[in-house]
Amino acid sequence: MGKIVCFPSLSTKQQQRILDAAPGYTLTVGKAKEIDASELKEAEIVVGWSPLVTEHVLKENSPLKWVQVWSAGVDNLPFSDLEQKGIMLTSANGVHAIPITEIILGMMLSHSRWLRQAMLYQQQAEWKSPGKPLPELHGKTAVIVGVGEIGSETARILKVLGMNVIGVRRSGKDVPNVDQMYTMSGLHEALSQGDYVINILPLTDETHHIYNQTAFEHFKSGSCFVNVGRGPCVNTEALLGALDSGQIAFAALDVFEEEPLPADHRLWGKDNVLITPHIAGSTEQYTERALDIFIQNLESYVAGKKLPLNLVNYSHKY
């Protein structure tokens, strides 16, 4: 039978789950520097990713048929090489739905309920209130741009809080808990309605700098922007301009065009910006959830069936 090479670190129990799902297959688990190139060249399935795959597999003839990456994003992979060799690519899309939904909610509440500002005053031992009634999320409108697994879970939670939810996605297909759905061609119309705009788009040629000056001019005045998608989806200078003008009252950013964000970057000094260091998807449950996705795909693969989860469309690049 075939060989599976896995880069993510797995416990003995987790490794056994893979072997139970693929009887007769052999499994090699180890960090990229620890796995011998000769073993990698024999792999039929690769779990995770390493530049070694490009160096020792894609440039040569090999039995590789399927790559299951350990991340939801795939924008850094060599699509053309994988597609040319007919190698299937699946992602861990969906593994982030719960933790990223939670951080989105935390970011929104940190602004609406004045939590971030209160923490800043706490550091100065200063008893200071906002001086005006605080807004609620209830009754406000959230625009979720990129309604996939994460966006669907976010919509579910926001509806529980009594928010109106507008969605934007490539297909325009309706999903539960979204009151109105737009295709990407209706992005600017959707943006104009949002008290909160939440970006969860992947990075593609079409989404690079999709939030440019024109897009921000369509934002509702005084709205809030949350970015947990990809940093390069946003033209940072255009965002700074929207923050300076007050078109956007608050931005919560987990991803950036340049990471780490340089210490002298203007975003650090803005009191209407919340910055987190690309941690939105961090969760103690990551490995188990990613493994669940792989196992379900693996069982179908071994049975000769179509992979049911997260098969990447090379044309769309996600």
Overall domain count for the chain? 2
Q: What is the pLDDT of residues 248-274, one digit of tens each?
A: 999 999 999 999 999 999 999 999 999
State whether 164 and 192 are in the same domain. yes
Domain hosting 83: range is: 3-94+284-302
Give the pLDDT mean for 62-85: 93
Whether the per-residue pLDDT at 287 is higher than 80: the answer is: yes
Residue 179 domain-assigned? yes
Is the model more confident about 99 or about 316?
Answer: 99
Write down the pLDDT at residue 33: 78
146 with 260, same domain: the answer is: yes
CATH number, domain containing residue 247: 3.40.50.720
Q: What is the pLDDT of residues 42-67, one digit of tens each?
A: 999 999 999 889 888 898 889 999 99
Identify whether 11 is part of a domain: yes
Q: Three-state SS for 81?
A: helix
Q: Is residue 308 part of a domain?
A: no
Q: What percent of the chain has pLDDT over 70?
A: 100
Q: Say whether both 49 and 109 belong to one domain.
A: no
Asked if 107 and 64 sit in the same domain, the reply is: no
Identified catalytic residue from 113, 188, 265, 278: 278
Longest Cα pair distance anywhere in the chain, in angstroms?
70
SS3 letters for 262-290? CCCCHHHHCCCEEECCCCCCCCCCHHHHH
Least confident of 49-58, 100-109, 140-149, 203-212: 49-58
Using the predicted structure, report yes or no on whether residue 220 has a pLDDT greater than 80. Answer: yes
Query: Looking at the structure, do residues 85 and 133 belong to the same domain, yes or no?
Result: no
- The mean pLDDT of the chain is 96
Whether 316 is covered by a domain: the verdict is: no
Q: Is residue 307 part of a domain?
A: no
- Residue 70 pLDDT class (50, 70, 90 cuts): very high
Pair 128, 18 in one domain:
no
Clarify whether residues 198 and 86 are in a common domain: no
Catalytic position from the list 189, 206, 259, 288: 259
Same domain as 216, residue 185: yes
> Is residue 252 a part of any domain in this protein?
yes
CA nearest to 295, candidates 7, 13, 17? 17
Catalytic (active site) residue 316: no
**d(C-alpha 147, C-alpha 63), whole Å:** 35
- Within this chain, do residues 196 and 257 fall inside the same structural domain, yes or no? yes
Q: Is 309 part of any domain?
A: no
Find the mean pLDDT for residues 101-119: 97
Res. 317 pLDDT band, cuts 50 70 90 = confident
Same domain (yes/no): 137, 253: yes
Q: Is 278 a catalytic residue?
A: yes
The pLDDT value given to residue 267: 98
pTM of the model: 0.92
pLDDT confidence of residue 81: 93
Q: What is the mean pLDDT of residues 205-227?
A: 98
Helix then strand then coil, in percent of the chain rounded to 5, is 35, 15, 50
Decide if 311 is inside a domain: no
Taking CA atoms, 62 is separated from 40, 59, 185, 274, 314, in Å, by 9, 9, 42, 47, 20
Question: What was the pLDDT predicted at 35?
Answer: 87
Q: Are residues 269 and 296 in the same domain?
A: no
Q: What is the mean pLDDT of residues 162-180?
A: 97
Residue 1 has pLDDT above 80, yes or no: no
| Distances, alpha carbon 57 to alpha carbons 66, 81, 82, 293, in Å | 12, 10, 10, 24
Which listed residue (56, 111, 169, 230) is catalytic? 230
In this structure, the answer to whether residues 161 and 252 fall within a common structural domain is: yes
Whether the ω angle into residue 260 lies within 30 degrees of 0, i.e. cis, is yes
pLDDT digits (tens, 9 = 90+) for 27-40: 999 987 788 888 89
What is the predicted pLDDT for the residue at 32?
78
